[in-house]
Chain A
Amino acid sequence: MKVNLLYKNKNLKKLKIGEIEENLLKDLGLSIIIEEMSKGDELTKEIATQVLIQPLTDQEEIIYRQEIVKDALENINLFEALNRLADDVIESKRKALFWIMNKKPSSVLFSNVRMLEILIDHLLELKRIFENPGRVQSQGLKRLIEDTNKTLTQDYTNHLKQLIKVLEFRETMSFSAKLGIANRLSNFVLRLKEDKGSFLKIFSKDRGYSFTIDERDEAGFRALSEIKDRVLIDIAKLVYTATMSILRFFEILKEETSLYIAVSNLHKTIKSKGYWVCFPKINNDFPQRHIQDLYDLSLMLVTNNRIVPNDLYQKGELTTFIVGANQGGKTTFLRSLGIAQIMFQSGLFVPAKNFSSHICSGIFTHFKKEEDINLESGKLDDELKRMDEIVKRVKPHTLILQNESFASTNEQEGSEIATQILKAFKENNIEVFYVTHMYTLAKAFLEKQGVNYLVVEVDNKSMRTFKLKPGKPLSTSFGKDLFYKVFGGVT
């Protein structure tokens, strides 16, 4: 019996959040979205983070999760009930003071048998919840319900309860033994000796030989319990494993339902702010995207200003340059694409009215870092180092979002480096969206196949509309505009 609500056949791995992941979370503003989802709950925050930094690359897995998200949006009560039950289990584990780790098999057995009794009650409660689950359309939930019913039959639970009684060893404990190395007692096998409570019968003279340990012989009692420990070692391990496995089940149930509750939270917030979402469709051609009214979700969550959405039509272009006036929405667009692609590949809805895309084998960001602007000499080195780390993990169909990369050196050198890297990426089917003001770089690809340019739209009054339109790079940036805006209209 496994939870498997995040993947068809495995659990969420908890990856170490390295520099690459930290950059991704920060560059795209994913942390803001995660905050909104988890509403301050640390566990939910962790799970949401892990889900978002491990995008799915398998079509079936994406659909599997989408279905469960849809169930959660329709039937959050079920998820909340499961979450509370899992909470109860975790709480009883915490309260179980007797459940202290002890290195002796007999005491491990004793304490785990007691814990097991509690856990079985909770398993039966799980079964009761599933008797009346409400709307369930996803194969993930259907399978979990079926598994639960199949495992916990009446017959089986009765059997289990009986054995638990036996393992309390309130009566005599009997086992067979053989002689092992140097005649040590060995090959212990726990056995049932017909006793019927008449303990005198076993210990009567005609049944072999007996001895009694003196009440004051402490060493003797210790030795006796050592022998018991050796007899019970395998059974203690087994019962321990069973207990831990059930606890693990509930821990995972807690984690996985927390994610779906968080997704439902996010959905409510988006709706309440008057924005839209849709469930994405998967394109099998690469690279191919068709996106309508895409907006930057993390920006939306922190601003009350109305956000200008953008469209993206992409068919076959591996390299896209985003160019044009400063503060014209280039970075916002780059971010909104990254967020949507990650949410799509996490099996969630996306912040757009229409969204179809191919699946990327990985998603990375390489953004200019503002904070170390002073360390000019080390900055290019740092940028190259970050790119090197990304290259170690790229595969064909990886998406790399670059924001003013290699702008830390002069345009000549920065363009030179970037051109070489982009050329190699393009030849190896690695997809790039690159926000840049380096005309030398953008120009270098003008005559190439499979290159797209998105340009900040400027209306006839030189005002930015925050819309991006297909176009060609111009040799000057619009920094001049800002200069005039700040210093007034000096000509």
Chain B
Amino acid sequence: MAFKSLLLATGETTKESEDTINDLRINLIIDGISKLSKEPLRDLLLNRLTKKEDIIYRQRILKDIEKPEILKILSGFSQNLDRVKQYIELSKKSTFEITAHGWHLEAALLYIETVETMYNSLSNLEIESKGLNEFVDFLKNYTSSNEFETLKNDAKNVKRQLNDITFMVSIRENKVNISKFNNEQRLDEKIKNVFSKLISYEVEQLDFELIESHILSNVEERILELAKRLDPEPFAALSDFFKKHRDFIEKTIDQFNREIQFFLAYLNYIEPIKRSGLSFCFPEIVERDNEIHFKNSFDLALAKQLSDKGERVVTNDLSINNSEKILLVTGPNQGGKTTFARMIGQLFYFASLGLMVPGTEVKIFLCDHIYTHFEKEEKVQSKKGKLEDELTRAKSILDSATNRSIIILNEIFSATALEDAYFLAEFVIRRIINLGALAVFVTFMHKLKRIDSSIVPLTSNVDPKNPSIRTFKITKKETEGRSFAIYLAEKYCLTYDCLKERLKNES
């Protein structure tokens, strides 16, 4: 089979609403990933796959790419190809012939090396995915083609001739002389030997910021012209090469480079998060009726933000069987409830892009849509207006959701009188239960769990020793009290037991 694409086996996709993308902070994640690539990735990241086989096609390719040895090869390839393109740009911009042809030759040399290196290293490795294997086959044919061989021989030959040139330059006041090189005695080594003896302290090194403009000065151009006059042949060969090999980049190589950006940018994006000790895994896509679960998962946007500051986000686990439909998340403020809800939405979203998701083990179904309803921090608006908006939004979600949908409700009806809020929330929950959709309901109304046995109560926890410290773990646990002085000593780990451990570790 000839190589077609790394991204799409069949090609059907779907999108989520702007509200969902913003509420789940997926917009931040997409921005972050897009920034890591020169190719446009937004569209790819906004289009979710709808078929399990397409997801698996991408997952397999990503599993290959994620292997450190393959990742290294492909990142290197992609960086080098970017440089090849920069060189070509420089060649096009340059008005001085020796330079223009020079950049063109550099581009060709780097291209040849890049393609060969990639083929040589990939062909020695075990590759499992269909998509990548087809590409390696393509490389095999291309690198042994006549077209490629000629390009390679010509380029190396010209470069060798240019490398052999050495000449002398002498400057005195405003006069410059260029002459043949006669092995004149080196002055720099002598200076180095004598002066190094004076250096016995490590001092701040001087770094010159010489602005090496790619545009040559008139003086440098004149020197090069005279060097060409001293030794014309290599320059003639350079000019011939330029005419013979104007456009040398193969179009499949170009396409491949564009497509791997999707995977590379995502891997780059999650790399610092992984380094901070968090895990990602390939989600297993199961049927709607199966038990779903995740272990050590987290909010990707928050993890990214924290890992930039050198901190690590708290992870959470959850298993839900088929009879559990509504996750009712309650607990103290700032305890990680909203983050937990976002995380669940993100898991479903990124799983359907064929990417790895936060966690050590994730089992999830392919949802048709993710609906979110987050409390908006509205400007000046009457309570009535706000409630009306909330209800309208809730209705539109309930009208379009199916039993394959995810519904995430975050602190809705919180501005309403408590009695009304309970009444409305109960109504919404009953509708969701009837639909059979999976919902996450973040609320302060913990009594809602009494409505139905399919409601799973979850609580954001605090540190049992110090109720002011949030653990950001979403589970069920009670708190306990402590006496003041010992509690303080414990806070600094200065009780006997704690201190003993510390001192043991330090000695």
Contacts and interface: CB of A to CB of B under 8 A. Distances in A.
Nearest to B504: A428
A210 B191 contact: no
Nearest to A393: B506
B306 interface: no
A235 B191 contact: yes
B99 A176 contact: no
A252 to B, nearest CB: 8
B417 interface: no
Given A105-B208, A223-B218, A223-B219, A178 B175 contact: no
B195 A239 contact: yes
B210 A108 contact: no
B200 A245 contact: yes
B507 interface: yes
A370 interface: no
Contacts of B198: 160, 242, 245-246
A235 B189 CA distance: 10
Chain B interface extent, by class: 35 or more
A151 B206 CA distance: 25
B171 A173 contact: yes
A482 interface: no
Nearest to B204: A244
A490 interface: no
A67 B264 CA distance: 63
A177 interface: yes
A156, A228, A252, A413: most-surrounded residue (chain B CB, <10 A): A413
Contacts of B354: none
B186 A189 contact: yes
Given A174-B170, A384-B492, A424 B503 contact: yes
Contacts of B488: 380-381, 384
Contacts of A249: 200-201
B491 interface: yes
Contacts of A229: 208, 210
Contacts of A171: 172
Contacts of B176: 210-213, 224
Determine the main DSSP class of A at the interface with B: helix
Interface stretch (B160-168, B297-305, B337-345): B160-168
Interface stretch (A28-36, A274-282, A415-423, A454-462): A415-423
A252 B202 CA distance: 12
Contact of A420 (B165, B203, B496): B496
Nearest to B496: A420
B502 interface: yes
Contacts, number: 267
A229 B381 CA distance: 67
Contacts of B503: 391, 394, 424-425, 427-428, 430
Contacts of B334: none
Interface in A80-114: 103-105, 108
Contacts of B230: 208-209
Interface stretch (A50-58, A191-199, A307-315): A191-199
B285 to A, nearest CB: 49
Nearest to A2: B200
Interface in B136-160: none
Given A219-B218, A416-B485, A179 B186 contact: no
B491 A424 contact: no
A424 B186 contact: no
B187, B226, B504: most-surrounded residue (chain A CB, <10 A): B187
A181 interface: yes
B177 interface: yes
A227 B220 contact: yes
Interface string B168-212: 111110111111110011111011101111111101111011100
Interface of B: 87, 90, 98-99, 101-103, 105-106, 162-163, 165-172, 174-181, 184-188, 190-192, 194-201, 203-206, 208-210, 214, 216-220, 222-224, 226-227, 229-230, 238, 484-486, 488-489, 491-496, 499-500, 502-504, 506-507
**Interface pairs A-B: 4 shortest CB-CB:** A208-B179, A223-B217, A182-B102, A183-B102
15 contacts: A160-B198, A174-B171, A176-B168, A176-B184, A179-B165, A202-B177, A203-B175, A210-B178, A229-B210, A230-B210, A236-B206, A244-B201, A420-B495, A420-B499, A424-B500
